[in-house]
Structure 1
Amino acid sequence: MTKKTRLNQTDWLLAGFAALAEDGPEALKAEPLARRLGTTKGSFYWHFADVPAYHAAMLDLWAEQATSHIPAALEAEPTPVAKLRRLSQIIATHRSESLGGVKLDAAIRAWSRANPVVAERLASVDGQRLGFLETLLNETGITNPEWARIIYAADIGMEDLSARDSNDNTSAMGSLVDLVLALR
């Protein structure tokens, strides 16, 4: 008789990210997740007080992963222009990276359309990312805040295109930033 591996909180969160990306937010309930993991709902409730607490833990992990690495990555760059170029690459690369093997930004955006709590967290992450862009644009002499929105919106749209054609957006984001820098 083999002993079953005990699931931890991270196992549940990663299963939730996969379920969200594959089946949408309706799959983020204790019973479907337990079936996905081949266990009981009791294991779910051992780690999370309820489904809203589970959703909050998912959003916490996603938000942390989506923004925490940016300041350290920019610190190594010598100039505001280099930092801006690096940030555009981070943003483009982040969307093609995953959490637990699952690309999440598009799934989080879709979930946010029907869930105000998710929408609020997404707005917070978007605000942080836009803040990084606005700061760096200002440091390069570009003070119109609309450019940050244009760059960020272009990235969101490129992510959607990549979901269909699997193209890497890193070069396209770099070209857009270079174009914006040429306008200053």
Structure 2
Amino acid sequence: MEQERRRLTADDWAAAALTAIGAGGLAAVAIEPLAARLGTTKGSFYGHFSNREALVEAALSLWEKQFTEAYIATMATEPDPMARLRMLFTRIIGNAGQDALAVNVLASADHRLVAPVVSRVEQRRIDYSFALFEEIGFPPTVAAQRAMLGYTAYVGHSQLATRLPGVLPLKDADQLTRYIDSVLNLLLHDAPGPTAPV
């Protein structure tokens, strides 16, 4: 007798929808193709969600948790704010161009379901960076400017790496490390306190 398939959860559907957004944008979230990819039927979908919009909302919530809150949580044990800043930039810049998900989500930022999530995620990321720069010792006005500059550098880098692969001359780990060093040196210019910029 054929073994019974694992029952799919709402999280399974949300993860599949998130993969679809990464591959083809928001329009790629369609129930029947996702059901086929998951090896199930539309009935499984309706057991968890009332409609496509609810699935999109679940996928965006998953994106927020995995690519913002989880990133921040992984750095929580590092006591040095400069080291946390380096960890953050190494991770986000190192991953740029490998996954179009963030670029595709931002491309749909004017959609009524996407807009509040993107707004919340961007504010959370900027606030986190702001707190790092304040902890390093910058006054609030400067910390806010550095956080905004750092975030726009990340978004621009991610867009270029995904949309125009090969344009950025970061072909190996040494080039990536030197690039991250240069970004951090700019962001940490005139950093107060005894710890010098990288």
Give the match for residue 31 of structure 2.
30
Give the match for residue 132 of structure 2.
136
Can you list the C-alpha shifts for 1:99-151, whole angstroms capped at 9, x where unaligned?
A: xxx552112112223x1221110111111111111111122233321221111
Aligned length: 179
The correspondence of residues 27-176 of structure 1 with structure 2, limited to 5 A, is 27-93=28-94, 95=96, 103-113=100-110, 115-143=111-139, 144=142, 145-163=144-162, 164-165=165-166, 167=170, 171=177, 172-176=179-183
Q: In the alignment, is residue 183 of structure 1 matched against residue 190 of structure 2? A: yes
Farther-moved stretch of structure 1 (67-76 vs 136-145): 67-76
Cα distance, 1:142–1:91 mapped onto 2, change above 3 Å: farther
Cα distance, 1:157–1:41 mapped onto 2, change above 3 Å: same
Larger fraction in helix: 1
Instruction: Give the secondary-structure state (helix, strand or coil) at the position aligned to 1:112.
Output: coil
Compute the displacement of 1:177 (Å): 1.4
Cα RMSD of the aligned pairs, angstroms, is 2.7
- Letter of the structure 2 residue corresponding to residue 179 of structure 1: L
Farther-moved stretch of structure 1 (40-49 vs 127-136): 40-49
> Between the two proteins, what is the percent identity of the paired residues?
32
Equivalent pair of 2:96/2:161 in contact (CA under 8 Å): no
The correspondence of residues 11-22 of structure 1 with structure 2, limited to 5 A, is 11-22=12-23
Gaps of 5+ in 1: none
Determine the C-alpha separation between the residues in 2 that align with 1:183 and 1:94.
28
Compute the displacement of 1:67 (Å): 2.0
In terms of Rg, which structure is larger? 2
